[in-house]
Amino acid sequence: SRVWRGLIEEYRDRLPVSATTPVVTLLEGGTPLVPAPKVSALVGCDVFLKVEGLNPTGSFKDRGMTVAISKAVEEGAQAVICASTGNTSASAAAYAVRAGLTCAVLVPRGKIAMGKLAQALVHGAKLLQVEGSFDDCLEMTKKLAENYPIALVNSVNPHRLQGQKTAAFEIVDALGSAPDVHCIPVGNAGNISAYWMGYQEYAAKPPKMFGFQASGSAPIVNGAPVTHPHTIATAIRIGNPASWKLAEAARDESGGVIQAVTDRQIAAAYKLLAQGEGVFVELASAASVAGLLQAHEQGLLQPGQRVVCTVTGNGLKDPDWAISGAPAPVTIPIDAYAAAAALELA
């Protein structure tokens, strides 16, 4: 059986690396494309989930980070910095450890999930909680990278999107061709842009790109930046996406859409994935499936089409949300009969 070597080795000829680039990898990529029978039945299409939560740090960010950190090392960087709603910082922190770099991260205070905070801290990143939004954090990191010897690893760094485009390659390899429709959450808008790049490069007939923002953080849908973005899906709580123009190009060139989904729709899709498919994702990730259900209601899908939804991050990132939405566990004594009664077996 073939062993996965990490996405730089797997797709070396399509990435901006040379024989002398030091490859910094945690063997990211190679994530499963899982059929989703419950969602498929709801929309009358063949739906697959690209489960990006199975990357080394639990999100798709690792795809971009392996390339960005490898290039940063090649270019002589000793420190990296990023702004993040949590996943980028978790990934940057881990890959920086791997490369022997110091890592600084700026996050919006109180607006990142606990697991992500834990990851940045456990990997030893210098973490600053900013009293502002992700967009404020990104402006600050850009200034810092311009004025100090510290490399920016946000997706405004083009190496990030190069790495992330490989998810589209994997989907084409797994299905034998591109799907008809690809659904994806949109925050800073890098990932939809990266997939579109990947599909154009690798597929004979690229899919329509369907991007979904949270309705309280939907600048591209509204056509204007959102000054005070809000949503339960904190990963995509972004009011002024860096890759705005690229995302619009992906939408328009593919014949797709970028729409808003409400927090209520996102929460329902989260529950559907957890309890209908056995796939535990974070809230932002469920926006792709919430959007697919909405697109179905709007008649944007044809029966039997093949659809891929990227589920971008692992549900374990945000245990607070998972627990708050579930019934409280029942406590019993050491007594099998009590267990049977509580389980309504008797």
* Least spacing, CB of residue 99 vs ligand F0G, in Å: 19
Does 31 bind ligand F0G (CB under 6 A)? Our answer is no
Contact with ligand F0G (CB under 6 A) among 185, 229, 239, 315: 185
Does 186 bind ligand F0G (CB under 6 A)? Our answer is yes
Residue appearing with tokens 């809000």:
230
CA distances, 255 to each of 180, 188, 248, 265 (Å): 11, 21, 10, 24
| Segment (H or E) for 192 | helix 190-202
Does 28 bind ligand F0G (CB under 6 A)? Our answer is no
Token pair belonging to 166: 């490989």
* Least spacing, CB of residue 319 vs ligand F0G, in Å: 15
Beta bridge partners of 2: none
DSSP letter at 106 equals E
Q: Which residues 6+ apart lie within 8 Å of 144 measured at CB?
A: 81, 104, 150
Q: How would you classify residue 27: left for phi > 0, otherwise alpha for psi between -120 and 50, otherwise beta?
A: left
Token pair belonging to 336: 């099998």
Does 312 bind ligand F0G (CB under 6 A)? Our answer is yes
CB nearer ligand F0G, residue 112 or residue 337:
112
* Least spacing, CB of residue 312 vs ligand F0G, in Å: 3
Does 288 bind ligand F0G (CB under 6 A)? Our answer is no
CB nearer ligand F0G, residue 179 or residue 185:
185
Contact with ligand F0G (CB under 6 A) among 6, 207, 216, 313: 313
* Least spacing, CB of residue 9 vs ligand F0G, in Å: 24
Which stretch, 68-76, 122-130, 185-193, 332-340, contacts ligand F0G (CB under 6 A)? Answer: 185-193
Contact with ligand F0G (CB under 6 A) among 57, 85, 141, 217: 85
* Least spacing, CB of residue 327 vs ligand F0G, in Å: 26
Does 141 bind ligand F0G (CB under 6 A)? Our answer is no
Does 282 bind ligand F0G (CB under 6 A)? Our answer is yes
Does 94 bind ligand F0G (CB under 6 A)? Our answer is no
Token pair belonging to 312: 């971008």
Total number of residues binding ligand F0G (CB under 6 A)?
22
Question: Is residue 213 within 8 Å of residue 231, measured between CB atoms?
Answer: no
Token pair belonging to 127: 């973490």
Contact with ligand F0G (CB under 6 A) among 6, 29, 56, 86: 86
Does 235 bind ligand F0G (CB under 6 A)? Our answer is yes
Residue appearing with tokens 């059929």:
35
CB nearer ligand F0G, residue 186 or residue 309:
186
Q: Tell me how far apart the alpha carbons of residues 61 and 59 are, in angstroms, rounded to a whole number.
A: 5
Sequence-ordered strand ranges (E) for 199-290: 208-214, 257-261
Which stretch, 141-149, 179-187, 291-299, 325-333, contacts ligand F0G (CB under 6 A)? Answer: 179-187
> What is the tally of helices (H) and strands (E) in the chain?
15, 10
Contact with ligand F0G (CB under 6 A) among 55, 70, 84, 162: 84
Q: Which residues 6+ apart lie within 8 Å of 117 measured at CB?
A: 86, 107, 127
Return the residues of window 188-227 that contact ligand F0G according to CB under 6 A: 188-191
* Least spacing, CB of residue 24 vs ligand F0G, in Å: 19
Q: Tell me how far apart the alpha carbons of residues 24 and 153 are, in angstroms, rounded to a whole number.
A: 14
Q: Which residues 6+ apart lie within 8 Å of 130 measured at CB?
A: 106, 107, 108, 109, 136, 137, 140
The separation between CA 27 and the C-alpha centre of its own chain, rounded to angstroms, equals 17
Does 284 bind ligand F0G (CB under 6 A)? Our answer is yes
Interacting residues toward ligand F0G by CB under 6 A: 59, 61, 84-88, 155, 185-191, 235-236, 282, 284-285, 312-313
